[in-house]
Amino acid sequence: MRHCFSSNLKLTRVIFAVLLTGCVLATSLASCAHKVSKTHSLFITMKDGVKLAADVHLPEDLAAEGNVPALLYQTRYWRSYSSHRSQAGGRRNSLLTAIDKLFLINGYAVVKVDVRGTGASYGFRRVEYGPVEVLDGYDIVEWIVQQPWSNGKVGSYGISYTGTTAEFLSANEHPAVKAAILGWSDFDAYKSPVKPYGMQSDGFLKKWSQYLDSLDGNNMEGRSVRPVDADRYGAMLSDAVAQHSENVDVYKAFSPITFRDTSDRDSDISFHVASSLYWREKIENSGVAMFVMASWLDAGVADGALLRYNNYRNPQKLWILATSHGGRHHASPYVVSNRALDPIPSRMDQWRKALDFLNHYLKGMANGVDKWPAITYFNLAEEIFKETDVWPPKGTKKIRMFMREGNRLSFKPPEDKIGEDSYTINFEVTTGSYSRWMTQMGTPVLYLNSRNEMDTKMLTFTSQPLAADLQITGYPVITLYVKSTHSDGAFLVYLEDVFENGKSVYINEGGLRAIHRKVSKNPYVNQETPYHSFAERDAMPLVPGEMAELTFELHPTSVLIKKGHKIRVAIAGADKGNFNRIPAQGTPTITLARNKKYSSFIALPVSERNADSLE
């Protein structure tokens, strides 16, 4: 039997409400409460005989409405649950989130399914987002369109894991599927959130794995997954949960994997098979329209959203916010410090916009969705939204800022033949437990508004005060020429805004494990940044004492650096609590070159309007 992680029940209880629904909406949507005329909970049988548990919710006015489109929600985190006791002393069911209710009162059927090997569904899973799970979507849609209440049109929606299943549903190329809401979804699970920069997102992965184990064993404190209606005494639920004991332990399965092309030993499936890129041709052929919500501060979801937009033929509208995972809290370090703030826009407005998108593609409403800008994105510091139909936006150029003597960052390249800085890795450097990586577990993004103390533990280079405002929008790219005392190491780079009073604010970050430094052509999509395959065949250990070039992108961002502020680049070799230690043993010392032959620099995507007046 699987270990139930009883010591982690408190943890799972705290985050349960967030991840069960992909971040439940704030109480502002409580006004959407709606009586559902009929809710069925039943099994849908797949082609191979495996039964998946589903809740079917129909709008109250279905008789007057006639047949309606359906919205499918395929979840890893239980479609619904029962509390063992409510405050009144009896059992309480949680069937619908505020998002679901919003859709119901606007004339949609809502179908929520426990994916294979989870919740009350039968089967087991050797991998997350596996091909069998994806292909189950076809059978579910086939069942939906055969129901007497269905008008033959289906959409999908979700946040986080369920946002990814919403995209993968289109890979089945079922003609009934017309639109998908992709909220903070995974595009390439290797790069985000499991192995960012070729390292392991250890803090996130441990907590996520423990949480999944409790879910799969039906070991959540005070809650139990809801059985289907026909299972009055829970016998079928017990049988299904017993099958889940064969599920893979995510942390144990992923931890030994270094390379993107390495197959999991239990499933023989690599990270690539569990990514959107693997299904690209089928997703494009489906023609499914996508409304994609992401955030500059949430793991790598914005990067995935932009890669999809620039490469997939599907009709797409992007909304890139400055929120925590799932759009739950505002995350801009320019206004957020040590406590969570309401998101911008509100959760109500986020999902009203998604509803408009669905109404256009599933109900044919002429509501202006076709005239929306392709990309709406939040500009940090200015704290407003901007719009563009191309990425990067028109009028963007790259300028270089060079590492110079005296820890300076300059628009002028070095002219000296000799110049270098030595830095011994400080493994206490961290972005904390409320970082862009831990927000994937439902936490807000906090404590990034003042990085001064952490800057003292890193190798930093800071510019002179800017002579004019500087608009940065896109992917910064760093090029480092380094020597190391070790054959491997983590290279993490932070872009910061230093205020006139000296306060240093985190903007974004990038990184690369040294053995993955080989740059090649991306075989899957076109991209504007250096491509690293993270494949075993391309591994290049450092030769201690020899010069090596590392060039890699930082996460995309959009920020206004104001006149009089300074730009800082901070270089580290660790992010304690977020990434595993590289190397596992020993403490590397790196030597960074900053001379005429080896000019380390950062290339910033900036607005042409003020680029020439900076220095």
Catalytic residue positions, numbered: 160, 298, 325
Q: Which residues pair with 589 in a beta bridge?
A: 424
Residue in this structure with the two tokens 């998604």, named with its chain if needed: 354
> Cα–Cα distance between 554 and 549 in angstroms, integer?
16
Amino acid identity of residue 361, one-letter, is: Y
Q: Which two tokens stand for residue 328?
A: 């739950």
- Residue 263 in 3-state DSSP? coil
Q: What are the φ and ψ backbone dihedral angles of 518, each rounded to 5 degrees? A: -60, 130
Contact assessment for residue 82 and residue 218, using Cβ atoms and an 8 Å cutoff: no
Q: Which residues contact 606 (CB under 8 A, 6 or more apart)?
A: 396, 397, 398, 399, 470, 471, 472, 473
> Cα–Cα distance between 37 and 541 in angstroms, integer?
63
Contact assessment for residue 44 and residue 19, using Cβ atoms and an 8 Å cutoff: no
Cis, bond preceding 345 (omega within 30 deg of 0): yes
CB atoms within 10 A of CB 447: 19
> Cα–Cα distance between 434 and 498 in angstroms, integer?
21
> Cα–Cα distance between 16 and 31 in angstroms, integer?
23
Strands (E), 414-543: 420-424, 459-462, 470-474, 477-484, 490-498, 504-513
Q: Do β-strands 477-484 and 548-553 pair in parallel, antiparallel, or remain unpaired?
A: antiparallel
Q: Do β-strands 51-58 and 109-114 pair in parallel, antiparallel, or remain unpaired?
A: antiparallel
Residue in this structure with the two tokens 């029940």, named with its chain if needed: 9
Residue in this structure with the two tokens 């970050």, named with its chain if needed: 509
Cis, bond preceding 131 (omega within 30 deg of 0): no
Q: Of 472, 464, 462, 413, which is closest to residue 608 (Cα–Cα)? A: 472
DSSP state letter for 585: S
Q: Which two tokens stand for residue 368?
A: 């202006």
> Cα–Cα distance between 96 and 355 in angstroms, integer?
17
> Cα–Cα distance between 448 and 27 in angstroms, integer?
27
- Residue 483 in 3-state DSSP? strand
What is the Cα Rg of the chain in Å? Answer: 25
- Measured N-to-C along each axis, helices 347-363 and 98-105 cross at an angle, to the nearest 10 degrees, of 40
- Residue 331 in 3-state DSSP? coil
Sheet holding 81-83, edge to edge: 92-94, 81-83, 223-225
Q: What are the φ and ψ backbone dihedral angles of 31, each rounded to 5 degrees? A: -65, -10
Q: What are the φ and ψ backbone dihedral angles of 521, each rounded to 5 degrees? A: -85, 135
Amino acid identity of residue 599, one-letter, is: S
Q: Which residues contact 408 (CB under 8 A, 6 or more apart)?
A: 461, 462, 463, 464
